[in-house]
Amino acid sequence: MPQYAYFQKQFMPLAEANTNIMTNFLHYGTAVFEGIRGNWNEEQNQIYLFRLKEHYERLLNGCKVMKIQIPYSNDDLCKLTVELTARSGLKENVYVRPVAYKSTEAMGVRLHNLESDFFALVIPWGRYLDTDACRVGVSSWRRPGSNCSVPQAKITGQYVNSAFAKTEAHDAGFDEAIVLNESGRVAEGSGENIFLVIDGKLITPSVYENILVGITRATVIELAKNELGIEVIERPVERTELYLAREAFFTGTAAHVSPIAEVDHRLVGDGKVGPITKELQTLYHDVIEGKNPKYMHWCTPVY
């Protein structure tokens, strides 16, 4: 089945959406991106794009930071993404990658005097973390602070830090990394937010700990509070708390709710998926697949 992209203001086969190797963002990471999940509901023969408006609100905020001007409103981007996904005709879980970028074919480190453009592509994509429960290690790489990066924005150039952490973890035999911030407190995974279960409460690093303020993170916080009646505390998290928590899990658009079984060769709880994590996993998947009527306002149908 052909895959499609939206590139240079038109829909086209993905294979034809190519950019010049002089394009500025390829050299300097001068772009912002999002990852958007489309979740297949077999019974309804439908793909639901999850929290589309929230993703594009974050992308447009990132554009402000990066001085990227694109001629699209949030509604425009949502409609464009629905059409792109529908054109692809996929009937499985998909992943949409929109990118706003500095499109001038010119060298030079700067944000000014450069043109901007936007593209998006859609591909089939299954599990991001290919395991039922992750073995993770605390990385030697630190999460950059807001004095040298913009943690709230998904800027392409910043993600080399995540790549360092991810590959270090992989080479050490782990599934994923946990990255500390400049103060030595827990920030997040290489591409996910993190939650711990301590004394029956959900604990997660606060927005002031140099984390990406994740959309899945916000979803899980709301579901935990409103559906499960679990207290959620956003606060600084010390490294040793990773070893003492009863449960732990990652959250992210790509990763969904992914349990953590082990940190630095120490079991989390009994090393199995904990009851709170499992309950949140089930609830979250029902919501994103359009099976929970209460949260259908988060789901945009494609077909």
Regarding whether 282 and 148 lie in a shared domain, the answer is yes
Provide the pairing of β-strand 232-234 with 201-204: parallel
Prediction pTM value: 0.95
Provide the pairing of β-strand 186-189 with 193-198: unpaired
Q: If you ran DSSP here, which 8-state letter would residue 9 be given? A: T
Domain that holds residue 238: 134-288
When pLDDT is averaged across residues 114-142 and rounded to a whole number, the result is 93
d(CA 25, CA 20): 11
Regarding whether 199 and 115 lie in a shared domain, the answer is no
Distance from the Cα of residue 176 to its chain's centroid? 14
pLDDT one-digit tens code per residue, 209-243: 999 999 999 999 999 999 999 999 999 999 999 99
pLDDT score, position 145:
87
- Give the number of other Cβ atoms within 10 Å of residue 87's Cβ: 18
- Provide the token pair at 242: 């990773």
CA triple 88-300-83, angle to 5 deg: 30
pLDDT one-digit tens code per residue, 247-267: 999 999 999 999 999 999 999
Regarding whether 114 and 154 lie in a shared domain, the answer is no
Domain termination residue (choose one: 100, 124, 148):
124
CATH of the domain at 109: 3.30.470.10
Region of residue 160 (left: phi > 0; alpha: psi -120 to 50; beta: else): alpha
Catalytic residues: 154
Q: Per the domain annotation, does 298 fall within a domain?
A: no
Regarding whether 267 and 247 lie in a shared domain, the answer is yes
Please check whether residue 55 is in contact with residue 36, taking contact to mean a CB–CB distance below 8 angstroms. Answer: yes
Closest CA to 111 of 30, 222, 220, 20: 30
Place of tokens 């010119």: 106
